[in-house]
């Protein structure tokens, strides 16, 4: 899915995963996360076309299918 490829969102399920992600973020390993986050927002909300809700619903469905 787009979210998984975006590199802007972390899926964390355990305390260990949280600690590992935090170490990577604070060490600078994810220094481009802000760029990825802006791209993700742009991809989903790039214009006011009245379909933002549809895009969000599709994203939620994709995440829930996992």
pLDDT band at 47 (very low <50, low <70, confident <90, very high): low
Q: Concatenated DSSP letters for 5-17? A: HHSS-----SHHH
Average of pLDDT values for 51-59? 85
pLDDT in the model for residue 4: 63
The span from the first CA to the last CA of the chain, in angstroms, equals: 10
Residue 50 has which token pair? 């009245």
The band of 13, judged by pLDDT with boundaries at 50, 70 and 90, is: confident
Half-sphere exposure of 3 (CA within 13 A, CB side): 14
Beta carbons of 1 and 63 less than 8 angstroms apart: yes
Q: Report the pLDDT value the prediction gives residue 55, as an integer from 0 to 100.
A: 82
């Amino acid at each position: 899915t787009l979210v998984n490829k975006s590199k802007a969102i972390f899926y964390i399920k355990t305390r260990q995963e949280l600690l590992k992600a935090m170490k990577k973020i604070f060490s600078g390993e994810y220094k481009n996360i802000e760029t990825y986050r802006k791209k993700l927002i742009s991809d989903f909300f790039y214009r006011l076309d009245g379909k933002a809700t549809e895009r969000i619903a599709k994203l939620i469905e994709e995440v829930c299918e996992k």
